[in-house]
Amino acid sequence: MAASKKPSKKAPHKHDEVVGPERMTGADAVVRSLEALGIDTVFGLPGGAVLPLYESLFAAEKLRHVLVRHEQGAGHAASGYAQASGKVGVCIATSGPGATNLVTPLADAYLDSVPVMAITGQVGSPLIGTDAFQEADIRGITMPITKHNVMVRSHEEIPAAIAEAHHIASTGRPGPVLVDIPKDVQNAEFDFTWPPARDLPGYKPNTKPHSRQIVQAAKMIAAAKRPVLYIGGGVVKAGAHEELLAFANETGVPVVTTLMALGVFPQSHPLYMGMPGMHGSVPAVGALQEADLLIAIGTRFDDRVTGDTSTFAPGAKTIHADIDPAEVGKIRAVDVPIVGDAKRVLEQLRDVFKDGKAHAPSISGWIDRLNELKEHFPRGYDPQSDGSLSPQFVIETLAAQVGTDAIYVAGVGQHQMWAAQFLNFEKPRTWLNSGGLGTMGYAIPAALGAKAAAPDKEVWAIDGDGCFQMTNQEITTAAIEGFPFKVALINNGNLGMVRQWQTLFYDGHYSHTKLGGETYVPDFVKLSEALGAESIRVTTEEEVIPAIQRAREINDRPVVVEFIVGEDAQVWPMISAGASNSDIQYALNIRPFFDLEESAGEAPEDIDDVVDVEAAEKSETEKCETEKGN
């Protein structure tokens, strides 16, 4: 008799360690599920509807709970943790107002595709729908701003609900999820087992790009005379920075990175042209406007990049690759649509060129043109006419002192744009900010989360006086919990970006934008010290470097360095909202003219002359079959 074959041993999934059956409460099951998923930190604030969960957290051995001072802080901290680490950030809130305080950070995470899991308590099941004390339909409220949400009706469903939410948050296009758990469900006992069976029949994100679309894209790239890689935050989320660098080096195509993608491509690289958009660099905006081919990867053609879409990159054909099929072609008509993971898209595109099935485009004249723009329109700023400290000088000096290994977290407004312009980014996940929602108050709690995710990294929050007053209570959380990040507080005494618009478009009518300025109300030094931080005030250029050096020496508590800057500093370049990118102003009343100048290289007569189409398609088909077999 022939010996029977032994069953092959399949490597277990990292979250598939078998546990149970073990008797426990629903609240215990939440904790055990999070631990089984590899979650090590949660941010939250207790309340009546989550007291059973907090009883379980009290005995948790593998899970650290960080007690924030406001639920909004918990949500932004979870987001900062996720953006810095690439893992799912978790926040916890009680029912009613606790849960509704998570709405802003969930909306923020939704627009920036950040994997955040919110776990909320709910009133007991018999009370749902009765307008009970602290009852709110948080599932209905957050449905438009979460990738997935669910109310758990039975304690036996908890392990699967947590596992499914984690899977949805972290796969495909990442995003926030919410799990709402009534108090009685948390209290009920059952036999816990792990791993649970996941039942998500309709959720199958497509990560593998179609080989024919890859080949079509390669044909267009090879034939282009003025191509540009237009890179968005999806490339960061996909961990595709190495593939992007390799593809750019292989083809010689210049690169622009959106606000959410800063750091995914080294800014010191000669092919880097900068950040496009409303306050982008002239070379980056010029590259898009004069391009004949956009290679858009992991980006959604946001209005802050495109301006008037009818005049955006008017002479360019478009390749658009994104893991979310809903984004492809949503804003701009696409010539070659590619649905798939950015890492695989870039890897397969590079292989077509690397293997000699396509030739790199001849674009030396195009590169010369963009380098000319870089030379004629460098980043810079004018000193303040009143002799006050320039915010750009502060951030430029901070960049020189701290370097590119630190994590920088920005609030929203002028200081955010100056940080994007004057910091130097060489690595992914070193720049965190609120891009899509533009949430004032993001920086302080997000820096807390980033420091929790990367305790050995130097973390700097760059915040404005308006933003700081929205969430500064989390400085206390950092002081007590031991997260010694630094804050560069840019204090111009105003809601600076709104003031800039009032200066330019509302005849200088500064309607309700002045916050205090030279009167030092509030006194941020005293306030920061009361919250548990070391604080330093800087008013002159000579004080900037010593203050930064002093802040970097303090590592047992957070540090707030307040820089008193001029109130009339403005962010340039600038494209007015809804205007054409061709009307970019390098400074007030000064703009370049994008004339779609031809590059030196000529396109071939026959596009197939530069791509061995049959060989490339055959190669991609063979790769797909090999992957399927594995």
Q: Which listed residue (497, 502, 567, 574) is catalytic?
A: 497
Q: Comparing C-alpha atoms, which of 156, 154, 162, 86 is closest to residue 120?
A: 162
Tokens 């596992």 sit on residue = 163
In three state form, how does the secondary structure of 143-181 look? HHHCCEEEECCCHHHHHHHHHHHHHHHHCCCCCCEEEEE
Question: How many residues would you count in the chain?
Answer: 630
Cis omega (within 30 of 0) on the bond before 195? yes
CA distance 234 to 322: 8
125-134 exposure pattern, b = at least 16 Cβ within 10 A, e = fewer:
eeeeeeebeb
Q: Exactly one of 17, 22, 62, 133 is catalytic; which is it? A: 133
Which two tokens mark 441?
Answer: 């108050």
Q: Is it true that the peptide bond before 126 is cis, omega within 30 degrees of 0? A: no
Between the alpha carbon of residue 504 and those of residues 316, 331, 501, 581, 585, the distances in Å are: 31, 28, 5, 18, 12
DSSP letter assigned to residue 611: B
Q: Is 265 a catalytic residue?
A: no
Which tokens belong to 19?
């546990």
Catalytic annotation on 237?
A: no
CA atoms within 13 A on the CB side of 284: 27
What token pair was written down for 29?
Answer: 């099951």
* 192 has catalytic annotation: no
- Known catalytic residue: 183? yes
CA–CA distance, 77 with 447 (Å, rounded to integer): 7
Q: Which helix (H) or strand (E) holds 80?
A: helix 71-85
| Helix ranges restricted to H, 355-459 | 364-376, 391-402, 414-422, 443-453
Query: Which one from 24, 71, 156, 265 is the annotated catalytic residue?
Result: 71
Reduced 3-state DSSP string for 300-363: CCCHHHHCCHHHCCCCCEEEEEECCCCCCCCCCCCCEEEECCHHHHHHHHHHHHHCCCECCCCC
Q: Does the annotation count 134 as an active-site position?
A: yes
Collapsing DSSP states into helix, strand and coil, what is residue 5? coil
In whole angstroms, what is the distance from residue 226 CA to residue 366 CA?
Answer: 6
Distance CA 577, CA 310 (A): 14
φ/ψ of 366, rounded to 5, equals -65, -45
Which of 358, 160, 167 has its CA nearest to residue 251? 358
Structure tokens at 381: 């700023």
Say which residue the tokens 């948790």 belong to.
60
Q: Which of 35, 134, 585, 598 is catalytic?
A: 134
Q: How many angstroms from the chain centroid is the CA of residue 136?
A: 29
Q: Contact at 8 Å (CB) between 238 and 298?
A: yes
Contacts of 365 (CB under 8 A, 6+ apart): 225, 598, 599, 600, 601
Residue in 183, 225, 237, 451 annotated catalytic: 183
CA 191/CA 36 separation, integer angstroms: 16
How are beta strands 293-297 and 272-274 bridged, if at all?
Answer: unpaired
Contact yes or no for 20/193 (Cβ under 8 A): yes
Enumerate the active-site residues.
Answer: 71, 133-134, 183, 497
